[in-house]
Amino acid sequence: MKIGILGMGTVGAGVYKIIQENKKEINKYLDNDIEIQRILVRAINKDRAIFIPSELLTDNYDDILNDESIKIVVELMGGIHPAFDYIKQAIMKGKHIVTANKALMATHGKELEDLAKQKGVFIKYEASVGGGIPIINTLMDSLAANKIEEIIGIINGTTNYILTQMTNYNMSFDEALKLAQDNGYAEADPTSDIEGEDAAFKISILTSIAYGISVQPNIIEREGITKIDKNDIKYASKLGYKIKLLAATKRFNDSVGIYVYPSLVPNEHPLAAINNEFNALFVRGNAVGEVLLYGKGAGSLPTGSAVLSDIMSVTKSINNNIRNSKKSDRLDNNMEVRGIGKSQYYIRLQVIDKPGVLGKIAMTFGEYGISLDSVVQNGRDEKSVPLVFITHDIEKEVLDNTLKVVSSYEFVEKVASILKVESIEK
């Protein structure tokens, strides 16, 4: 089975290495080999971490598009353009697609899937979410008999690594980010990761699969981790929580709640124990109950493994003359998309330490219908002190309106932090 690969970065190198090293296992599963026919690169003469014969390399996409022996195009370039145009052209030529491109599938997945179905070819994208964790195939196949009630998890390794360093080694956000960059867990420009965009792409894809509703990433309620500091880590620990950047999608009667938000997770919950670059997804189905998938969410070989899984799946379908003949539109666009909804929240205020401050703030919360679960006040004989609250369930809009009033008081210096408290059922 001849394939063409678009891009030879970290994931491309992993795919190439696995194909070379695991030929025996691949052949045993498929009864034939997977052969790389051509690789599209920007610069043919660039030094690479692995040796690739020069005759495989090209800087002209037409060499792959017009090669009729290539049945599967593997897109590992990343970004939306030119990847989107390349994939569309390949589908129109009757080629099957395997991609690891989360931004592309979150933004244009429905269009590409519809086009693939029209042409009878497959488009697979297991590696777009969770690296080596088989979440997409699990939802599509293993849990297909279930109504998925919720998916919640840690699906960005960069932010989880940063928060782990802040929690375990008392690092500041900036120190932990620099360490993540030095160790290759964060890009030189980490904006997409630390602002929650990367996680929004991934949870958009999972929502489409789980609930059949197309959600554009740019409408997902999200917040990153840039406002979290060591004080939040400390107070969360005192209250029995770990701070994690969670992505979640939850089905209600006629709506779907979807969000990416830094959250306090109870120490006893499995997600609280997921550290460093690892990812984990907690799935609840109405028949299977609770399932936890855990593994490396990024990296050359884990992500390459997911790509190879898709390549081998498509190869088997081709060998058995199976065409993609699913219905062209399975999406339920009548469902309302909303954000977090009601939740508990952690709030850290910085206030002037004088009598009556706590009472006045607590009274204001009460006037707006916000009841408090916990209050922590540390620091005495200091002019300015932190004041920490955990609320009972409240709509975020009500909380925001209340905090506007609270922040107007002359003794409130700032609203330093607002985090979600994830009340996950155990």
* Contact (CB, 8 A) for 98 and 75: yes
Percent of the chain with pLDDT over 90: 88
Percent of the chain with pLDDT over 70: 96
Average pLDDT of the chain? 94
Q: Cα separations (Å) of 226 from 163, 172, 277, 386?
A: 10, 11, 17, 19
Q: Are residues 162 and 292 in the same domain?
A: yes
With CA atoms as reference, report the closest residue to 304 among 40, 78, 100, 85. Answer: 100
The annotation places the binding site for NADP(+) at 6-13
pLDDT tier at 332, thresholds 50, 70, 90: low
- pLDDT, mean of residues 262-280: 96
Query: Rounded to whole angstroms, how far apart are CA atoms 218 and 172?
Result: 29
CATH of the domain at 381: 3.30.70.260
Query: Rounded to whole angstroms, how far apart are CA atoms 368 and 248?
Result: 27
Is residue 389 scored above 50 in pLDDT?
yes
Q: Are residues 292 and 314 in the same domain?
A: no
The annotation places the binding site at 6-13, 102, 187
**Within a domain: 326:** no
The annotation places the binding site for NADPH at 102
pLDDT tier at 381, thresholds 50, 70, 90: low
Number of domains in the chain: 3
Query: Rounded to whole angstroms, how far apart are CA atoms 279 and 100?
Result: 16
Q: Are residues 276 and 393 in the same domain?
A: no
The CA R_g of the chain, rounded to the nearest whole Å, is 24
- pLDDT, mean of residues 356-382: 91
**Within a domain: 290:** yes
**Within a domain: 181:** yes
Is residue 328 scored above 60 in pLDDT?
no
- pLDDT, mean of residues 3-23: 96
Beta carbons within 10 angstroms of residue 114's beta carbon = 14
Q: Are residues 159 and 79 in the same domain?
A: no
The domain boundary, picked from 266, 297, 328, lies at 297
pLDDT tens digits, 30-54? 988 999 999 999 999 998 889 999 9
Query: Rounded to whole angstroms, how far apart are CA atoms 375 and 366?
Result: 14
- pLDDT, mean of residues 227-252: 96
Q: Are residues 72 and 90 in the same domain?
A: yes
pLDDT tens digits, 118-136? 999 999 999 999 999 999 9
pLDDT tens digits, 179-188? 999 998 899 9
pTM: 0.94
* Contact (CB, 8 A) for 144 and 134: no
**Within a domain: 99:** yes
Q: Are residues 275 and 312 in the same domain?
A: no
Active site residues: 202
**Within a domain: 308:** yes
Q: Are residues 218 and 264 in the same domain?
A: yes
Angle 231-191-245 (CA atoms, 0-180°, nearest 5)? 45
Q: Which domain holds residue 409?
A: 342-421
CATH of the domain at 139: 3.30.360.10
Is residue 237 scored above 50 in pLDDT?
yes
- pLDDT, mean of residues 327-341: 69
pLDDT tier at 283, thresholds 50, 70, 90: very high
- pLDDT, mean of residues 135-144: 95
Q: Are residues 280 and 310 in the same domain?
A: no
Is residue 331 scored above 60 in pLDDT?
no
Q: Are residues 149 and 292 in the same domain?
A: yes
pLDDT of residue 116: 97
pLDDT tens digits, 70-120? 999 999 999 999 999 999 999 999 999 999 999 999 999 999 999 999 999
What's the maximum distance between 2 C-alpha atoms anywhere in the chain?
A: 80
Task: Say which range, 23-27, 214-218, 422-426, has the weakest mean pLDDT.
Answer: 422-426
Q: Are residues 144 and 287 in the same domain?
A: yes
Cα end-to-end distance, the chain, whole Å: 46
Q: Are residues 39 and 119 in the same domain?
A: yes
**Within a domain: 327:** no
Q: Are residues 247 and 200 in the same domain?
A: yes
**Within a domain: 125:** yes
CATH of the domain at 52: 3.40.50.720
Query: Rounded to whole angstroms, how far apart are CA atoms 115 and 68?
Result: 19
Is residue 147 scored above 50 in pLDDT?
yes
Most confidently predicted of 44-53, 364-373, 382-391: 364-373
**Within a domain: 330:** no
The annotation places the binding site for L-homoserine at 187
